Structure 1
Amino acid sequence: MFQLPASPLALIKDPILDSFKVKLYLKRDDLIHPEVTGNKWRKLKFNLIEAKLQGFNQLLTFGGAYSNHIYATAAAGKEFGFKTVGIIRGDELTPDSNATLRFAHDCGMELIFVTRLDYNFRNRLTRQYGEKFYVLPEGGTNDLAIKGVNEMVDEIYDVLNPDYICSAVGTGGTIAGIISGLRGNTKAIGFASLKGKGLLKGQIEKLLPFEKEFELNEQYHFDGYAKTTPELISFIKGFEERNPNIMLEQVYTGKMMFGIYDLIQKGYFPENANIVAVHTGGLQGRCDELKKTAINQASIV
């Protein structure tokens, strides 16, 4: 019931990569499901199994106005027969505030909008609303989520023994799952999408079942979560022109790929390195400028 096919590992074609003599692969987790895509499916899978085992048919979770996790949980609830409730940060919002919230509402998710102050006390909100619900944390990150990401890492090793596995980082669950699933000399590199305060690496370390070295880049956040610049948008458009079958978004995957390309051009990766970047989905969050580009590309084809 909760098993989806392995996602493909695609070799990126780009003159820049050729000139620096490295190979870059993209783990296409954006393709594993039309709506519950990328790391959100990886995080949800074993939680959905556990919810069923515990006899729950209702899910409660948390997120912001543009949360990929809210979007995916609502879709998963509809597909697998769970009632869903999302506690949303921002009491000024409504189900019609944006496409993410409209989609979640249309999937049957009950949306409860709370003030940002109240949202900070999620443990209290859990006690208030969560007695009859299987509770998923914000972003879906917990031990079962890390187990799901481990499966994705195993899929990579089934095809390739990479030197590096890279991922965008939000709450830290995906990169923690990657780090804990590494084999041999493979190194993990995370690219923070949020403008942190130097605390993110410690949060990731707390999620790891054992001590393991990894690298966290916090200089490619483009001034914070869901924020962007013309430079980032230009990079994404250029990448998509060279790889017309791949779309990125500006919140997570675009920032990660920008960071990888920047490190490549700075000589960070040795010649003949095999680099795997994880596409964590979230394409419904593409900004209007990128959506227009996708429409134009489709019309040309």
Structure 2
Amino acid sequence: MNAFDLAALHPRLPSPVEPVEDERFTRHGVRLLLKRDDLIHQDLPGNKWRKLAPNLPAAAGRPVLTFGGAYSNHLRATAAAGRLLGFPTIGVVRGEELAGRPLNPSLARCAADGMRLRFVDRATYRRRADPQVLAELLTELPSEYGDCYVVPEGGSNEAAVRGCAELGRELHGVADVVAVACGTGGTLAGLAAGLAPGQRALGMAVLKGGFLAGDVRDLQKSAFGRPAGDWSLDDRFHFGGYARTTPALDAFAEDFEARHGLPVERLYVAKMLYGLVALADEGAFPPGTALAAVITGSG
């Protein structure tokens, strides 16, 4: 198998849309739909598939170097793709490794899938796009890694954004508003571009900082040459920042799982769903709205 054999992975596309009955929405006249992107592939679910699939042919079997935090779903998906398709992977991880401490479950899965992990301090990580920093990282790799194909943090580049536009096209005529959790903004940028006129994309930021809107605009300009689609961001439901949760969020996720029999990933999906319930209570969705929530899965 090589990096062009993506069809051999048997992705489930388009992913199904499941209507669910939830009185927290129905009492406001809102119909909730779940776009089950988590069912695309066991190891490469949701937006991770949609972002990686258009990048891997460009890698053409070369080692793939990419970036992420210690709990990055993108790193896990890239490592899994490398194992399944037979190419080396390198993950540059934000934060210094603690000597003598075991890897967390996310990074342990990356290592088990063959990913070479390179820990860098946060100051260096912030400069990851600097050509000098990147050149130094590449120089430190053993010679067998050769020429690497570099994918940015979260997989969000021009190819990934165009890949995520297909998500929007799959939802034509299905929903008035489509919500997705946002880390780097690539999925929202593509989703909004793929939706039909009259549909709106809603991004729920899972990290604090308030900078994602500019990133989404920049990604759309790179991918399409212009702003695309009707979209907005809500950054009130990050629960303290990336990879952070609270007892209240955990309780909400457990309740949603019990109501609907759906595994709810905590770092992205739970925050989005919690935010949608709050927005429904605020009257953000007019009665009669069909609201689709993209379930991206855990990666």
State the 1:120 CA deviation.
Answer: 2.2
SS at match of 1:215: strand
1:109 counterpart = 2:122: no
For residue 38 of structure 2, what is the aligned residue in structure 1?
30
State the 1:93 CA deviation.
Answer: 4.0
For residue 125 of structure 2, what is the aligned residue in structure 1?
119
8 Å CA contact retained: 1:93, 1:113? no
State the 1:24 CA deviation.
Answer: 1.0
For residue 92 of structure 1, what is the aligned residue in structure 2?
97
Q: Distance in 1 between matches of 2:282 and 2:35?
A: 23
For residue 166 of structure 1, what is the aligned residue in structure 2?
179
1:203 counterpart = 2:242: no
1:250 counterpart = 2:266: yes
1:273 counterpart = 2:289: yes
For residue 236 of structure 2, what is the aligned residue in structure 1?
219
Q: Distance in 2 between matches of 1:93 and 1:35?
A: 27
Structural mapping, 1:76-91, within 5 Å = 76-91=81-96
For residue 298 of structure 1, what is the aligned residue in structure 2?
none
8 Å CA contact retained: 2:176, 2:198? yes
For residue 2 of structure 1, what is the aligned residue in structure 2?
6
State the 1:33 CA deviation.
Answer: 1.1
8 Å CA contact retained: 1:57, 1:81? no
SS at match of 2:180: strand
For residue 142 of structure 2, what is the aligned residue in structure 1?
none
Q: Alpha carbon RMSD of aligned pairs, Å?
A: 1.7
1:136 counterpart = 2:151: yes
State the 1:161 CA deviation.
Answer: 3.1
State the 1:147 CA deviation.
Answer: 1.4
Q: Distance in 2 between matches of 1:223 and 1:115?
A: 21
TM norm structure 2: 0.87
Q: Which runs of 5+ in 2 are unaligned?
A: 139-145
8 Å CA contact retained: 2:166, 2:191? no
Give a deviation string over 1:139-182, Cα, whole Å, max 9, x none: 1100110111112222222xx43111111111100100111112
SS at match of 2:6: coil
For residue 228 of structure 1, what is the aligned residue in structure 2?
245
Q: Distance in 2 between matches of 1:88 and 1:17?
A: 39
Q: Which runs of 5+ in 1 are unaligned?
A: 284-301
Q: For residue 72 of structure 2, what is the amino acid of its counterpart? A: S
For residue 21 of structure 2, what is the aligned residue in structure 1?
13
Q: For residue 199 of structure 1, what is the amino acid of its counterpart? A: F
Q: For residue 47 of structure 2, what is the amino acid of its counterpart? A: N
Q: Distance in 2 between matches of 1:61 and 1:264?
A: 37
Q: For residue 2 of structure 1, what is the amino acid of its counterpart? A: L
Q: Distance in 1 between matches of 2:156 and 2:243?
A: 19
1:67 to 69, 72, 82: 72
8 Å CA contact retained: 1:164, 1:187? yes
8 Å CA contact retained: 1:43, 1:145? yes
SS at match of 1:113: strand
Q: For residue 163 of structure 1, what is the amino acid of its counterpart? A: D
TM norm structure 1: 0.87
Structural mapping, 1:162-201, within 5 Å = 162-196=175-209, 198-201=210-213
SS at match of 1:168: strand
Q: Distance in 1 between matches of 2:137 and 2:284?
A: 48
Q: Distance in 1 between matches of 2:36 and 2:169?
A: 14
SS at match of 1:189: strand
State the 1:230 CA deviation.
Answer: 2.1
Give a deviation string over 1:205-233, Cα, whole Å, max 9, x none: 11113224421101111121121222212
1:41 counterpart = 2:49: yes
State the 1:92 CA deviation.
Answer: 2.4
- Flag the 1:223–1:91 CA change in 2: closer, same or farther, 3 A: closer
For residue 146 of structure 1, what is the aligned residue in structure 2?
161
